[in-house]
Amino acid sequence: MRVAAPQSVILFGASLGGLIAYFILPQGRRRLTQSSESKNWVWNSLKEIGGILGAMLLSAIVTILLSRVSESQFLIRVSITDFWGAIAIGFISNYLGYEILKRLIGSDKNSET
């Protein structure tokens, strides 16, 4: 009998891990918000909320992609079966996921040639 957490719990854990990484790692927060020295507190608050939602969404997306890759024949196999593992993967994916997605998508400087 195989026992695993439901997918909604895995995604919640990944989002929570991304949220933790967002607040602990300041370089990740700067990447997602690109804050300016604006004195408008409403605009700054909206940017911060967007950064929080972006961190949670990024962690959930990378976790889904890692779980799909583990089902295929690939060199790396990641199995996320519990809440704490999802938090750890969400934390790591928030830290590394932005750079990986930036490399896959490419930067604006490469597309302007």
Per-residue pLDDT averaged across 104-113, rounded?
56
* CA distances for 112 relative to 60, 106, 108, angstroms: 30, 11, 6
End-to-end CA distance of the chain: 55
Q: What is the dihedral of CA 21, 50, 68, 92, to 10 degrees?
A: -10
pLDDT, tens digit (0-9, with 9 covering 90-100), for 29-82: 665 556 556 677 787 788 888 888 988 998 888 888 777 776 666 666 667 778
* pLDDT at residue number 63: 83
Q: Which of 29, 10, 27 is nearest to 19 (CA)?
A: 29
pLDDT, tens digit (0-9, with 9 covering 90-100), for 2-15: 767 788 888 899 99
Q: Which residue has the higher pLDDT, 23 or 41?
A: 23
pLDDT at residue 20 tops 60: yes
What is residue 82's DSSP assignment? S
* pLDDT at residue number 15: 92
What tokens does 34 get?
A: 């690109």
